[in-house]
Every structure is written in structure tokens, then in C-alpha cells.
Chains A and B, each alone.
Chain A
Amino acid sequence: MLSTKFTKLSKEEVDRKWWEIGDFFRRNSLWMLMYCTGCCAIELPPAMTSAYDMERLGMGPMATPRQADVLLVTGYLSLKTLRRLIYTYEQMSEPKYVVGIGSCTINGGIYHDSHAVINQLNRYVPVDVYVAGCMPNTEAVMNGFVDLMGLIKTKKANGWKDYHARNEWYMANQKAALGEVKVHDEFHE
């Protein structure tokens, strides 16, 4: 028989419970910031509009990085856009997740030998979910979002914690690729 006696929960236990409640809200209301750098971005309009309607999952596009929860990187990233991507990622409020769409974010795809683009996205920012394909069709993209929700539920979408824990490693990779991460304001300087 279950005991009805009140036992005081430890602080970790209470924190964990709150975090689970928060996770329920977070996975049912994912706001995206679309960083449409490559051709894969063309798969997002059908996912958002009446054909597949991602709003029924509670997802929607947002205007600025501060408001967004998910960063969508759709396709290849040139060195110049990588700088902006890192800025954008660091501006988002935590917990934050990254979805990489297309083969280009996984291993460079058909641009793997180009001098102008990076090959592996998760050397520079932590990626939670990849959607493979060149380009992945819209069902695959939607499936990727459902996967992300599952990862949040099982507490495996920990990329943003990893970015804190292994920050030196990420910074070193960013430095090695870009030389300097700072974005210069050519207009004012």
C-alpha cells in the first residue's frame, strides 16, 4: 500500500520536477528562428503553410533570436554567414536547440570540397537534431521536429549545456575556421 505520509523532497528532486513541467511547455511550443542560408530553405514554406501546417505542433516562426527556441540551419554555411550564425546562437535565451537540415550541415554534402563553406556544423555550434537528405522532403523535416520534441521529453536535447561545458573546444574550432569571430561593422568603422 502506498504510504500517505508526507516526505519532504530534496532540492534536486524539486528542481527536477519543475524542469519536467517546463519541458512539457517547451516541447509543445517551439518557436523557430530560420537561418535560411542554403537551398534546403525551400522545404520550409510547405511545412509552415496549409500543406503540412506545423502550427498544429505549436511551432511558428519568430522574428528575432531572443524570442526563439529553435535555430534552424538550412543548408550550407559560408564562412561569412557562420560568423553571423554564432552571434545569433549566442543571443538566444536558454534552453535553446539547433536543428541542422540537409546533408550540407552534416558533412558538407555536395559542397564538401569547397573552400568557401564549412563542412560539419556541430564543430561550431552544438546540433540537437539532423535531418539528412539533399534536400530532405517536407515529411522528413516535420519528422525532425517531432524527433526534437521526443528528445526534449527524454532530456536528451542537451546541446546548449554542451556549449557551456565544452566552450573552449567550440571556441577553438570557430577560431580555426574564421580567424576572428567578431563581426566587423564595415559601415561605421
Chain B
Amino acid sequence: MITNILFGVGVAFFGFVLQTSIAGVNRKVVGRVQKRYGPKWYQEFLDIFKLLSKRSVTHGWIFDFGVIMALGGIIGTAMFMPITSDLVAFADFDNFFIFVYLIAVGMLGMAMSASGSGNPLASIGVMRALTTMLAYEVPFMIVVLTIIKLTGTSSVTGIAEFQQLASNNWFMIALPLGGIVGVMSLMGMIGKKPFETYIAPAEIASGPMVEYGGKQLGMLFIMHEITVFIEVSLFVHLFLGGAENVVLFIVKYFLVYTTLNIISSVYGRFKIDQVVLFFYKWPILMAISQAFVAIYLGWVI
């Protein structure tokens, strides 16, 4: 039990280091897209440690407690994340629905803490984040439920191993429409450009984070990195066939995140109603037709 928990914390730490370095490299990539030199690859680490080294103010205990709850909830979620098919902290507990439930703890902690700051922009940001979540979750769930129906298991490693069998393709290829929906939902999940309505620095002054500074903001940054790790690795396991070893996992992870970043670096920002309308129009249509084609007609490539 103790070794499992230590291993789980190790997974969360691995996710933090991996995602923070890859995010730093990606800032350089985006810089090159914009014909700039870009920051150092470890800039994200410097930013986080700088924030932790600053003094900060508090706006009441809800504000502080919510930050700790968000960070703890997200670390707790990351502990269940498989890295390869064998590298799982809690084998048999890597169910897809565990992630769906546990990730809400972190998000609610953040929402609670942001509302505790009493800034109206923070409340607007939280509302927008929840609305965006409502928008991308529906098409994503339809696709994932289709996958679960096809594989007959909701365990994340189970789904990954199913795709590694010689007779099966990755779901990105086997369900092409569903794969596209997955990519679009992932962009909404990790808050990339057309869908980063709830951060919107120029419009609502970075939304939920408006009142944070110093140590609390540092903890929120760590939380954000681990959240992105969870979401991108879920995508790798569900759609790209998981990974047989750690190197393959890192390569797939890097490719997914960099592709999303490059797509996002050429887009502007949607308004919140455009986000919801967008997700409820094409992705839902594609997801439903994919489910119909795959389950009732049995057409899987």
C-alpha cells in the first residue's frame, strides 16, 4: 500500500517535470512560429519557483484552502494515471471514470478559491470555465463511451492494450471522426487558443487567477501543469494506443502537445457563446454519427 502511494506520488512528480519541460520547449516553438527567439527551455521552472519565492497576500481562509484543495485533488488524480501499460501505481483502479470524478475535485477547489477572492472578474472566469467544460465534455464523452463499448472495458490500460493488439488500429485511425472530436475537445480541456475564453488576459484579466499572486499563483501553476499532464496522457492512452515503454510515451506526449500548441498559436479567441455553439454543432454531430457508424453498422477501420 505504502509503496503504491509512493509510486503514485512519483507519477504525479514525473508528470509535473515532464509537462513543465515540454511546456517550456513549446514556448520556444511558439516563439519560432512568431519569428522570435523564444525563452530558455526551463523558463517555466524559473517562473514557478520565482512565484513560490515571493510574498503574497491572502483574501481569507477559503482563498488559501481552495488552492491547497485544488493542488491536492489534482495530485490525487495524477496518482492513478498509467504511464505505460505496466507502469501503474494502482493496478485495476485506472478506470476512466475515476479520472472524470477525481479531476472535478481540483477544479472545484480552484472555483471555490477564486470565488473566495471576491473579485467579480474571478467569478466571471469560473463561470466561463464551467460553461466551457459543459460544452466540450458532451462530445468527448460520446466518443469515449463508443470506445468503451467497442473494447468492452473502461480501464485506461485495458483500452490501450486493446489497441496494441496486432489486429486493431489506434482509435485515432479506427474512428477518424471520433479522433478529430477528441483533438478538439482536448484543445478545450487544456485551454488552448480558440477556447481559452475563461483566461482571456486582455478581456477579463486572466479570469479565475485575477487575484492570485506569489505562492498561491505558484501552486496554481503546478496544478495547471499536472492537469495538462492528466488530460494529454488520457488522450495518448485512449486514442493513440498508449505506450509500451516510457520513451514511446514521452514521444507521443510531446507530439500531441506540440501539435496542439502549433494549431493554437495561429488562432484568435472565441467568445463564450461561440465556444458553446461550436462544440454543440460540429463535434457533437461528428461524435454521434461516429457512434452510430461504429456501434450499429460495425464499421471500424
Interface residues of A (CB under 8 A from B): 21-22, 25-26, 28-29, 31, 49-50, 53, 55-56, 58, 61-69, 92-95
Q: Which of B37, B50, B205 contacts A26 (CB 8 A)?
A: B50
Are A29 and B50 touching (Cβ within 8 A)?
yes
- B-chain residues with CB within 8 Å of residue A29 when the two chains form the complex: 43, 46-47, 50
- 30 cross-chain CB contacts under 8 A: A25-B49, A25-B50, A25-B53, A26-B53, A29-B47, A29-B50, A31-B47, A53-B31, A53-B36, A53-B37, A55-B38, A55-B39, A56-B31, A56-B39, A56-B40, A58-B43, A58-B46, A58-B47, A63-B210, A64-B209, A64-B211, A64-B213, A65-B213, A66-B214, A67-B217, A69-B50, A93-B55, A93-B57, A93-B213, A94-B54
Asked whether A22 and B53 contact (CB < 8 A) given A67-B209, A67-B217, the answer is: yes
Number of inter-chain CB pairs below 8 Å: 85
Given that A66-B213, A67-B209, A93-B214 are known contacts, is A28 also in contact with B46, CB under 8 Å in the complex? yes
If A22-B50, A22-B53, A64-B206 are given as contacts, then 10 extra A-B residue pairs at C-beta distance below 8 Å, sorted by A number, are A26-B54, A29-B46, A53-B38, A55-B39, A56-B36, A63-B206, A64-B211, A67-B213, A69-B50, A93-B214
Give B274 Cβ to nearest chain A Cβ, in Å. Answer: 21
Chain B residues near A21 (CB, 8 Å)? 53
A93 touches B56 (CB 8 A): yes
- Interface residues of B, dominant DSSP: loop
A53 CA / B27 CA spacing, docked (Å): 13
Residues on A with C-beta less than 8 A from B202 are: 63
B212 and A58 within 8 A (CB):
no
- Partner of A55 from the list B27, B205, B211 (CB cut-off 8 Å) is B27
Task: Indicate if the CB atoms of B54 and A95 lie closer than 8 Å.
Answer: yes
Chain B contacts for A55, CB-based, 8 A = 27, 31, 36-39
Q: Given that A28-B46, A64-B210, A66-B211 are known contacts, is A56 also in contact with B57, CB under 8 Å in the complex?
A: no
B4 interface hit (Cβ, 8 Å)? no
Give Cα A53–Cα B35 distance, bound, in whole angstroms.
Answer: 9
Q: Which residues of A contact B46 (CB under 8 A)?
A: 25, 28-29, 58
Within 8 A of A (CB), among B29-77: 31, 34-40, 43, 46-47, 49-50, 53-57
State the B residues within 8 Å of A (CB). Answer: 27, 31, 34-40, 43, 46-47, 49-50, 53-57, 201-202, 205-206, 209-214, 217
With the chains together, A68 CA to B210 CA distance in Å? 11
Least CB distance from B157 to A in Å reads 38
**Which of chain B's residues have a CB closer than 8 A to the CB of A69?**
50, 54
Q: How distant is the Cα of A57 from the Cα of B56 in the complex, in angstroms?
A: 24
Chain A to chain B: the 9 pairs with minimum beta-carbon distance, closest first: A66-B213, A22-B53, A93-B213, A25-B50, A63-B201, A63-B206, A53-B36, A93-B214, A63-B205
Complex CA–CA separation, A67 to B47 (angstroms): 11
- Residues on the B chain within 8 Å of A56, using CB: 31, 36-40
Given A26-B50, A29-B47, A49-B34, check contact A58 B57 (CB 8 Å). Answer: no
**What residues on A are CB-neighbors of B39 within 8 Å?**
55-56, 58
Q: Which residue of B lies closest to A96 (CB)?
A: B54
B27 partner residues in chain A, CB cutoff 8 A? 55
B57's nearest neighbour on chain A, judged by CB, is A93
Task: From A62, A65, A94, give the contact of B55 (CB < 8 A).
Answer: A94
A94 closest partner in B (C-beta)? B55
Bound CA–CA A57/B217 (angstroms): 21
Determine the residue in chain A with the shortest Cβ distance to B30: A55
Q: Which of chain A's residues have a CB closer than 8 A to the CB of B43? A: 28-29, 58
CB A5 to nearest CB in B, in angstroms, measures: 31
CB distance from A9 to the nearest CB of B (A): 19
Q: In the assembly, what is the distance between CA of A68 and CA of B205, in Å?
A: 12
Q: Is the CB of B37 within 8 A of A58?
A: no
Min CB–CB distance B125 → chain A (angstroms): 11
Bound CA span A65–B46, Å? 19
Cross-interface CB contact of A50 among B34, B50, B213, cutoff 8 Å: B34
Q: Considering the chains assembled together, what is the distance between the CA atoms of A49 and B47 in angstroms?
A: 20
Cβ distance A150 to chain B, nearest Cβ, rounded Å: 17
- Which interface residue of A29, A65, A69 has the most chain B CB atoms within 10 A? A29
Question: How far apart sit A55 and B34, CA to CA, in the bound complex (Å)?
Answer: 12
Residues of chain B contacted by A25 (CB below 8 angstroms): 46, 49-50, 53
Q: Known contacts being A93-B57, A94-B54, is A67 close to B49, with CB within 8 Å? A: no
